[in-house]
Amino acid sequence: MARDIVFFLAPDDETAAAARLRGPAEAFESVTCHFIEPDSAIAEWDMYFEEPSADVPPVEQLLGWAWPEWVTAPLNDGVEVFALPQRLTRALANASSAEFEELAGRWTTRLWSQDGDDMTDDDLLAVLQGVARLAASAVNTGGGLYSWSF
């Protein structure tokens, strides 16, 4: 499980990849959260917008979903950078409050069932809303939405 996760805007994959060693820090508009797996979160969000449901998907369905692409693969230090799919970025940018609430509830349920008391204490609805603001900026500027984790 990644300790620190930063969702951030960057103009392109090359710029996002350059953030690998130092992290996005202050250089990029970002949203930070802790103790989640960014790749499974991204896959779950994408699945939700493609096949909306308040129900937690079976783990086999989630594992069979298209997972995000690495911009930089993890090395021995565990740092990785993913690009969020463009269709997910558009979906997040255009989602309603009701969709965020339903997705946050579903995501919370899945994480609780997997992690129990070790689950993140971040407000997952606030994380989604923050990432959605980044997604809207990415759509408006033609940039990309990425996650950096360690």
- pLDDT per residue over 105-149, tens digit each? 999 999 988 777 777 889 999 999 999 999 999 999 999 999 999
- pLDDT value of position 5: 95
- pLDDT value of position 75: 84
Average pLDDT over residues 79-91: 97
Mean confidence (pLDDT) of the chain: 93
Q: What backbone phi and psi angles, to 5 degrees, belong to 79? A: -75, 135
- The model's pTM is 0.93
Give all strands of the β-sheet with 69-72 in edge-to-edge order.
30-36, 2-10, 144-149, 80-83, 69-72
* Interval 86-112: pLDDT, tens: 999 999 999 999 999 999 999 999 998
CA–CA separation, 149 vs 44, rounded Å? 17
| Alpha helices, DSSP H, located in the chain | 13-18, 38-50, 59-63, 86-94, 97-115, 124-141
CA–CA separation, 125 vs 11, rounded Å? 26
